[in-house]
Structure 1
Amino acid sequence: MSIEFLKHVIEQYGYLALFIGTFLEGETILLLAGFAAQSPQFGLDLRWVILSAFAGSLAGDQTAFFIGRHYGRKLVARSEKWRARSEKVHAMLAKYHEVLILSFRFFYGLRNLTPFVLGTAEISVRKFFLLNAIGAAVWAVAFALTGYAFGSLLENVLTRVIDNVHHAELAILGLVAAVVAILWVVKRLRRR
């Protein structure tokens, strides 16, 4: 998906688009929504951006967990590629357990598959829900604030550039006026 497309979706559908985007995956759309919350032209509130992203991420990962719980073993058994990825996730789960559940959404390549594979593991629904909710909250706050901060930084940089351009324009205009005046004086003096 292109940035322009996501920007258009955020402008048109706001929090619903963010919820659906974070349900499916989400980092890019959340960063853009955080950026948009900083800009008054979009009309998004940062608190609602965070809440929408939290809810979308939590719902998406819980759904994947339950699909994995009910159909995961059959689906993994059908594909060599899925079996290999599932084994990697199970190995990481054995080594890092709670940390993996809290942090998988921060790592590219783990975001979509991990909750599905965790559904095939011997993890209680309650434990997964609690750790998943904490991870989703931290993720939503971190990415929304990153987008917001980037928007604020960009606005400050653009404001300074525009101010500097305005000052540069005035300086160039003054320099041109001085050169024209000097040339006029030199021309007048040569005529005499």
Structure 2
Amino acid sequence: MFEHVDINYLLANYGYWAVFIGCLLEGETMLILGGLAAHQTALQLPHVILIATLGGMLGDQILFWTGRYFGPRILPKLHRQQSAIDRVSDLIKRYPTASVFSVRFLYGMRLIGPLVIGASRLSPVRFALINLLGAAVWATLFVMAGYWAGEALEHLLGNLKPYRLPIFIGVVVLAAGVALYRHHRAKVKAARGANSQGSTR
């Protein structure tokens, strides 16, 4: 069934757009896939890193400005994210610069973090500069991880061309599985916290 899908055509025509949109929303899985594609010369490595940086930065800028103008109305309604909101708020108070740089690397903080930072009234210029640096480091690390994974798989399997689509599907499935596991673990942790608070009343 895989032989009927022209993965080279899909990557060449939609690969960069997929990286950009993926990084605009969340990103890590698409970054790894972009790195794999760059290893297979379907995409250019510097272009993947640049586009991923721009997508990641733009996504956080949108969230930052959303938090700046609408944070006081939005954040109180996000009851399920309260622990993440409190965590980011505490980080901003203690380490404002480090919180902007590191929030994209913390699980569960990528989307909520910039919203909270925007609502904190941190300088937009300061946020933009640190956000650009953080996005560049984030994009480089994950794209290179995908590139090096391609190197390892090539040593193991030889020519990867016949396996490109199964590998890409495997990465997506693995990433989805990890995300579901983390989500389940976070829900269990939140439920335990709620139960412990209820028992102390």
Cα distance, 1:59 vs structure 2:
0.3
Separation in structure 1 between the aligned mates of residue 45 and residue 108 of structure 2, nearest angstrom? 27
Aligned to 1:112: 111
Cα distance, 1:95 vs structure 2:
2.2
- The number of residue pairs the alignment matches comes to 154
Structure 1 residues 101, 9: closer, same or farther in 2, change over 3 A? Answer: farther
Is 2:23–2:30's contact at 8 Å kept on the other side of the alignment?
yes
Separation in structure 1 between the aligned mates of residue 108 and residue 58 of structure 2, nearest angstrom? 19
Q: What 5-or-longer segments of structure 2 have no aligned partner? A: 1-7, 160-201
CA RMSD of aligned residues (A): 2.3
CA distances 1:116-137 after superposition (whole Å, capped 9, x unpaired): 1100002000000000000001
Separation in structure 1 between the aligned mates of residue 152 and residue 24 of structure 2, nearest angstrom? 28
Aligned to 2:100: 101
CA distances 1:159-184 after superposition (whole Å, capped 9, x unpaired): 29xxxxxxxxxxxxxxxxxxxxxxxx
Separation in structure 1 between the aligned mates of residue 61 and residue 154 of structure 2, nearest angstrom? 37
Separation in structure 2 between the aligned mates of residue 108 and residue 8 of structure 1, nearest angstrom? 33
Q: Percent identity?
A: 39
Aligned to 1:174: none
What TM-score, normalized to structure 1? Answer: 0.74
Is 1:142 aligned to 2:141, yes or no? yes
Separation in structure 1 between the aligned mates of residue 30 and residue 153 of structure 2, nearest angstrom? 18
Is 1:31 aligned to 2:32, yes or no? yes
Q: What 5-or-longer segments of structure 1 have no aligned partner? A: 1-6, 161-192
CA distances 1:98-151 after superposition (whole Å, capped 9, x unpaired): 111111111211111101110000200000000000000111111111110110
**Helix, strand or coil at the partner of 2:158:** helix
Flag the structure with larger Rg: 1
Is 2:84–2:108's contact at 8 Å kept on the other side of the alignment?
no
CA distances 1:48-96 after superposition (whole Å, capped 9, x unpaired): 1001100000000000000000111111123433444322210121223
Separation in structure 2 between the aligned mates of residue 67 and residue 108 of structure 1, nearest angstrom? 21
Is 1:38–1:152's contact at 8 Å kept on the other side of the alignment?
yes
Q: How does 1:28-177 map onto structure 2 within 5 Å?
A: 28-40=29-41, 43-159=42-158
Is 2:68–2:121's contact at 8 Å kept on the other side of the alignment?
no
What TM-score, normalized to structure 2? Answer: 0.70
Aligned to 2:20: 19
Structure 1 residues 154, 123: closer, same or farther in 2, change over 3 A? Answer: same
Q: Which amino acid aligns with 1:19?
A: F
Is 1:9–1:17's contact at 8 Å kept on the other side of the alignment?
no
**Helix, strand or coil at the partner of 1:123:** coil
Q: Which amino acid aligns with 1:55?
A: L
Q: Which amino acid aligns with 2:105?
A: F
Structure 1 residues 71, 46: closer, same or farther in 2, change over 3 A? Answer: same
Is 2:84–2:109's contact at 8 Å kept on the other side of the alignment?
no
Q: Which amino acid aligns with 2:46?
A: R
